[in-house]
Structure 1
Amino acid sequence: METIIFSSRIAQDLTRFLDSKKYSKLGVIMDSNTVKHCYPLVSTHLPEHSSFIFEAGEVNKTLDTCVKIWDWMTENSFDRKTLILNIGGGVTGDMGGFCASTYKRGIRFINLPTTLLSQVDASVGGKLGIDFKGFKNHIGVFNQPEGVLIGEEFLGTLPEPELRSGYAEVIKHGLIRNVNYFNSLKTENWQAQSWKDIISVSVGIKRDVVDKDPKEDGLRKILNFGHTIGHAVESYYLDTPFHLLHGEAIAIGMIAEAYLSHKFLRLPKEELGIIQENLLAVFGKIQIDKKGFDTIIDLCFQDKKNEGNALNFSLLKRIGECDFNIVVGREAVAEALDYYNQLSN
């Protein structure tokens, strides 16, 4: 399992961490937002390095961008002793780690997650990859970073929608594993919380699950609660003017899948009500295009938990307890999307 450092002085702690490693060259991967807002917090403490900067956004988490990264690595004569530092959110960590893991059969990398989403979720657990033909994280590998340095000070660089996007994964951690944690999370004035404490608890929940099932053979599938429908909704809107952030789509997915949990696992109706009330309070509600239901359901079939022609869901027995490999048909998914659409904010 990767080394995780919770830092209150990220530049100094990063310097110390790099000083403890032996490497021939240092390469830094960032997106166009990170280079402006986050890189300046650590740049003066970095040793000599080469940088690769790509245009920010999930839409650029593609094989085309990977080719440019591998070209940059090759042009800079990176050898197998080179160390890659990924500074940014989930897109940067996923794609930078994937490129490092495949360049010359694998070189080491470090993640410096700068968003709440990447700090509590994407940078922990060793899942790396890119989107392909509109399918989320369709091409990828499992590989652990050399280390993850989590600096709360980066959160001050985020616009509120990005902070809220990460909060969806925080809520998910409580729903699948810890009812007391879920109950402690704010829905009003949710921005005014101890993010240091929240990040620590969420990372602890995810690490505990990943330790028990590193390659997602069973238990780790519960971390995908809300993601079968959520990823499909996110992919559906990815190439449209109406763009949903990851957490906004996952909030929709969690409400829809909580409905399926009530239908298939008898999640108490009262708890279904609490889940949707809390999520709507933070994320509000959109109206999903009903003409897109069939496409969204088709996208659900690309989910990596599926086996054969069956849609496998991770669903809640109750708040704080999640089961996996629950087979759900197309009609029930359409019913869940309809249920979401009929809610009032």
Structure 2
Amino acid sequence: MESVKSKSYEVHINELAQAALNQHISKSDYSRIFLLVDENTKAHCLPIFKKMMDAPIDSLLEIKSGEENKHIHTCLQLWQDLSNLDGDRKSLLINLGGGVLTDMGGFVASTFKRGIDFINIPTTLLSMVDASIGGKTGVDLGSLKNQIGVINQPQMVLVFPEFLATLDPRQTKSGYAEMLKHGLIQDREYWNDLNQKGDFTDASCIQKSIAIKNKVVLEDPTEQGLRKILNFGHTLGHAIESYCLDNPNKKTLLHGEAIAAGMILEGYLSHELRGLSKLSLDEIKKGFLRHFDPVDFAPDDIESILQLLKYDKKNSHGNVNFVLLQEIGNAVTDIKIPEELFHKAFAYYRE
């Protein structure tokens, strides 16, 4: 399957990924090779990965899985481990895991010794089609998503769809939400295909989503304009995710589950403010609720979620900026929302 080329690196899939990894390491004079895993990828993915790699791994680094561990204290542990294990500026860090691990591993590599090389090997659908692509790295600040980080590109991203067999269906579905988003913001036909598709984990769908995200990132690598469209559903979705993570009385949501709700809500705002048709709005809602359980929002929950919007990374000059849809496949950025529309959006979601 053809690789996806970015400006400074490539995303390789299946057999090409294995060949690219071994070729890159054989021609690079790395002083030490570190592999970062969590308890899940150590048990389920590491044995597979070791058979793919010709060169020896010098040291294995391990962190605990889960968004609740994506914080600076975990980074401190990893920086200390790299230092204790004689890591230097010619070291390589390979990140074998989901979005939490590749985000954090990329950040640790980008800041250790002012930057060492890293390679992302995503093991969840979410990280394959989104988190490991585009160079965004970082950690959360408390329960606030991705507040600390840098944009820095990996040497390569290697996608092995066979790792998806190690996941439970809920984790896989979380990545499906991001794939649907790619269709909503850039490609109506892709949205139609995915929305009707029974199997969204085949390599061709993964490659299509990677290609859509890569195209956007190539045009706007530092998120000054177009790249903001990748945040559709994420302004409210991240606030929902943070609120549920920080509230012991609420079920913790996976990223895709939260942004699925966010895309329905922001779809409603698109209908009110940018002319998205009611037919398309209902199509979006029906599509997501076919695959994702509705989230129960009480009035107090909604107020708390709206308070979290002030921490969104796209904000500027005190304004909360939204990405909305003019139609399916066509997104616009930097839209201000009248406050009364938020409550109408939640009311539409709950209908």
SS at match of 2:192: helix
SS at match of 2:138: strand
Normalising by structure 1, we get a TM-score of 0.95
Greater CA drift, 284-293 or 90-99 = 284-293
Q: Which deviations, in whole Å up to 9, do the C-alpha atoms of 1:255-294 show, x marking residues without a partner? A: 0000000011010000001000000001121212321212
* Distance across 2 between alignment mates of 1:155 and 1:289: 35
How many residues are paired up? 340
From 201, 204, 222, the counterpart of 1:215? 222
> Structure 1 regions of 5+ residues with no counterpart?
none
SS at match of 1:149: strand
Greater CA drift, 286-295 or 126-135 = 286-295
SS at match of 1:168: helix
Q: After TM superposition, give the deviation of residue 10 of structure 1 in Å.
A: 5.5
Q: After TM superposition, give the deviation of residue 341 of structure 1 in Å.
A: 2.1
* Distance across 2 between alignment mates of 1:34 and 1:48: 15
From 256, 260, 264, the counterpart of 1:251? 260
RMSD value over aligned CA atoms?
1.5
Q: After TM superposition, give the deviation of residue 219 of structure 1 in Å.
A: 0.5
From 35, 42, 47, the counterpart of 1:28? 35
1:76 aligns with 2:65: no
Which aligned pairs between 1:1-345 and structure 2 lie closer than 5 A?
1=7, 2-8=9-15, 14-44=21-51, 45=53, 46-187=55-196, 190=198, 192-193=199-200, 195-239=202-246, 240=248, 242-342=251-351
Conserved in 1, the CA contact under 8 Å of 2:37 and 2:96? yes
Greater CA drift, 292-301 or 101-110 = 292-301
Dislocated runs of 4+, deviation >4 Å: 9-13
Conserved in 1, the CA contact under 8 Å of 2:185 and 2:230? yes
Conserved in 1, the CA contact under 8 Å of 2:270 and 2:326? yes
Normalising by structure 2, we get a TM-score of 0.93
* Distance across 1 between alignment mates of 2:41 and 2:103: 15
SS at match of 1:5: strand
The residue type equivalent to 2:113 in the other structure is: K
SS at match of 1:263: helix
Conserved in 1, the CA contact under 8 Å of 2:125 and 2:201? no
SS at match of 1:297: helix
The residue type equivalent to 1:25 in the other structure is: R
Greater CA drift, 72-81 or 302-311 = 302-311
Conserved in 1, the CA contact under 8 Å of 2:180 and 2:195? no
Q: After TM superposition, give the deviation of residue 13 of structure 1 in Å.
A: 5.0
Q: Which deviations, in whole Å up to 9, do the C-alpha atoms of 1:3-46 show, x marking residues without a partner? A: 21112476555333322322110111111111111111112435
Q: After TM superposition, give the deviation of residue 336 of structure 1 in Å.
A: 1.5
* Distance across 2 between alignment mates of 1:39 and 1:331: 50
Q: Which deviations, in whole Å up to 9, do the C-alpha atoms of 1:276-313 show, x marking residues without a partner? A: 00000011212123212122112112111111221110
Conserved in 2, the CA contact under 8 Å of 1:226 and 1:256? yes
Conserved in 1, the CA contact under 8 Å of 2:243 and 2:305? yes
* Distance across 1 between alignment mates of 2:111 and 2:342: 36
Conserved in 2, the CA contact under 8 Å of 1:310 and 1:329? no
Pair 1:222–1:23, CA change in 2 (3 A): same
Pair 1:215–1:19, CA change in 2 (3 A): same
Conserved in 2, the CA contact under 8 Å of 1:187 and 1:281? no
* Distance across 2 between alignment mates of 1:156 and 1:19: 29
The residue type equivalent to 2:245 in the other structure is: L
Q: After TM superposition, give the deviation of residue 103 of structure 1 in Å.
A: 0.7
